[in-house]
Amino acid sequence: MDRATRADDTLEPVSTVVDSPTGRTLQVTVPIVYGDRLAGNYGFAQVDIPWESTEGFVWRTVLTIAGVIAVFALLAWLLLFRTVHRASATLRSQAEENERLALHDALTGLPNRRLLHDRLDRAIVATERSGKSMALMILDVDRFKEVNDTLGHDRGDALLKEVGRRLSEVVRDADTVARLGGDEFAVLAPDVGGQLDAERFASRVHSAFDEPFQVG
């Protein structure tokens, strides 16, 4: 109690580090004046605070800061990963779409001349190895210019789409229906038994035009 009283009779808080079996404790003694201080109307309140050494405090602070930095770094990495993943997926999808557009006709969605040439080369190689036959048919729409001139290009485009659809319905899954440009189409059959089978196949393709086309 005497340590709380200065020589000039000024009361101030006093802190003391005390060792105990349970560890170090910081004892803080605070003077409380409840009347005339000169008459001795004051007392003291003591508060015990668990003491932590400077080294322990520094380590705890460092660990706390490191933990916060690690959490923010993880969140930043997750955000970056998500952004990169989305960008990669977008670029991959765009690349696939560009490749599809490069190999397919924009109007009908059928393989274009480039893709037909690629599949034709493969069919020729497969034919040479197996000794089997293949067939390639080239066809166009008669008087297609008159359709465009009388009904308009929109009706002409609709007719070309319908031609491609009908051709695709009469061929096999292994065959290729391609649009070469304008009103020209090609049908590639990579595996036929011979000339007779090729003629039958051509007849089936021609039958796709038996029914009239209803365009608009």
The closest alpha carbon to 161, from 179, 140, 143, belongs to 179
Six-digit token string for 84: 């990169």
The closest alpha carbon to 16, from 44, 58, 56, 55, belongs to 44
Residues 114, 128: Cα–Cα separation, whole Å? 22
Residues 31, 11: Cα–Cα separation, whole Å? 6
Alpha helices in the chain (DSSP H): 54-103, 113-130, 144-151, 153-170, 195-206
Catalytic residue among 183, 191, 197, 210, which?
A: 183
> Is 19 an annotated catalytic residue?
no
| Active-site annotation, residues | 183
